[in-house]
Amino acid sequence: MNLNTLKDLYVDVLKDLYDAENQILKALPKMAKAASSTELQEGFQEHLQQSEGHVERLDQVFEFAGEPAKRKKCRAMEGLLEEGKELLESDSDPEVLDAGMIAAAQKVEHYEIAGYGCARAYAQLLGENEAVELLQQTLDEERRADEKLTELAMSQINLAAEEGKQAASEGRAARKRSTAKAQARR
Ligand code: FE
Ligand code: FE
Ligand code: ZN
């Protein structure tokens, strides 16, 4: 791969994001399904819809750049989602799993925030003004999604995970309860 100009780098970043978003579109429904908290489920569903919009915006951004919309395997997103999948396949307590999924989702958001931040900066330097606008809109949505995950974690989910641990150490009854929940989830 030879990148000779900022424009080459810009298009490369766009292809990476285009692939990352498409990977996310496949992962989010699975995460929503695995979440125990209704609010977390809804959060993942909402971000799924937003992510469809992110792909559409990227289509337009490619068009402004006069380039075909192409994917280039984002190995970083592949790795992040692989870690998330490991968590989903684990036999974890439901509340702790929710807390872990929030952490996994925030890593995904931070990757996107970095990517869109760079893409927007390059678009600015290249004078692609319509693209700057679109990339900024997506960047704002990714940031907001990240903030919402933090709020959710701080307000209830991390706490629920901690309480779950205490209950489990208090006796077998609590352990049975969480096993029943885990089974109901399947
Ligand atoms: Fe996105
Ligand atoms: Fe990447
Ligand atoms: Zn996102």
Please indicate whether residue 138 or residue 157 has the higher confidence score (pLDDT). 138
Please indicate whether residue 178 or residue 128 has the higher confidence score (pLDDT). 128
Distance 17 CA to ligand 2 centre (A): 7
Find, among 26, 179, 19, the residue nearest to 115 by Cα. Answer: 19
Distance 126 CA to ligand 3 centre (A): 25
Work out the pLDDT band at 172, boundaries 50, 70, 90: very low
Residue 41 CA to residue 157 CA, distance in Å, equals 12
Distance 127 CA to ligand 1 centre (A): 23
pLDDT in tens, 139-157: 999 999 999 999 999 988 7
> Which ligand is in closest contact with the Cα of 79?
2
Q: What is the DSSP letter of 126?
A: T
Percentage of residues of the chain with pLDDT beyond 90:
82
Distance 98 CA to ligand 1 centre (A): 21
Residues, CB-to-ion distance under 5 Å, ligand 1: 51, 54, 112
pLDDT in tens, 71-106: 999 999 999 999 999 999 999 999 999 999 999 999
Report the pLDDT value the prediction gives residue 181, as an integer from 0 to 100: 52
What's the token pair of residue 114?
């970095």
Please give the average per-residue pLDDT across 164-177, as a whole number.
57
Residue 176 has pLDDT above 50, yes or no: no
- In CATH terms, the fold of domain 6-158 is Ferritin (1.20.1260)
Taking all residues of the chain, what is their mean pLDDT, rounded to a whole number?
91
Report the pLDDT value the prediction gives residue 34, as an integer from 0 to 100: 96
Distance 115 CA to ligand 3 centre (A): 11
Distance 25 CA to ligand 3 centre (A): 9
Report DSSP letters for 29-91, one per residue. HHHHHH--SHHHHHHHHHHHHHHHHHHHHHHHHHHHTT--------HHHHHHHHHHHHHHHS-
pLDDT in tens, 35-76: 999 999 999 999 999 999 999 999 999 999 999 999 999 999
Report the pLDDT value the prediction gives residue 175, as an integer from 0 to 100: 47
Contacts of the segment 43-49: beta carbons below 8 A, 24+ positions apart = 43/145, 43/148, 43/149, 43/152, 44/105, 47/105, 47/145
Residue 125 CA to residue 132 CA, distance in Å, equals 10
Distance 20 CA to ligand 2 centre (A): 7
Residue 100 CA to residue 98 CA, distance in Å, equals 5
> What value does the CA radius of gyration of the chain take, rounded to a whole number of Å?
19
